Structure 1
């Protein structure tokens, strides 16, 4: 039985979940085809954690999974932990920010009058309350 070094990765869980969510619209084979994978089994290998997702495959897979490419990139970079290229990307650019996260940031800027507010303990608690954490 092949090892699954990425089985517990956020990326593997996310890909598995998105495939399930998209099942009424398209099959896993169709997703693999849209993403440009010549071997449809590769998508199974990614979602089961046998293989990691190459960074250059992120845009096409994000399109096929109908998800934010920045979010998928972040998950792929996390999966590539220890990879010097991934480390360099995080060091230079920081975490990729999804479109949804950009919306939150825009709202914070608007609500604060674009004053660059600090994240205080009070604001942290308020934010975590929104997400029931």
Structure 2
């Protein structure tokens, strides 16, 4: 199996980001910005031949212009598996992306920072907003 991570969410995300940035950055540019000495590393990541090195997540996120917390979640699942990643997150707490941080700030603002409980009504309203 020469593409063990081919259908992995991290692989799919990296391929999407590379495509989205292709009008401004080459894969070689992204690899260099991420600190990879081999420019082919981006091809290997987007094709699912290699998993994301956890120590490269911050620089790779910067090069891919994405949130490092989100990329770390994907990389952890890819690296140690979904069950182990969940255990790590349960212990160390969920990394919060910048987008999630903005949503939380808005909730705090609209509720005057009163730490409201998630009720069935508020849960349903959130699900409607986020179409789930």
Common fold: TM-score over 0.5? yes
Query: Could you say which residue in structure 2 is the equivalent of 1:44?
Result: 43
Shift of residue 29, structure 1, vs aligned partner: 1.2
- TM (normalized to structure 1)? 0.87
Q: Partners of 2:122 and 2:82 in 1: how far apart?
A: 35
Equivalences for residues 91-106 of structure 1 within 5 A: 91-106=90-105
TM-score normalised by length of structure 2: 0.88
* CA offsets 1:24-50 (integer angstroms, 9 cap, x no match): 101111111111111112111111112
Change in Cα spacing, 1:83 to 1:122, as seen in structure 2 (3 Å) is closer
2:114 pairs with 1:112:
no
What is the aligned length? Answer: 132
Moved more, 117-126 or 57-66: 117-126
Query: Gapped runs of 5+ residues in structure 2?
Result: none
Q: Point out where structure 1 has 5 or more consecutive residues left out of the alignment.
A: none
1:1-133 matches, cutoff 5 A: 2-82=1-81, 86=85, 89-133=88-132
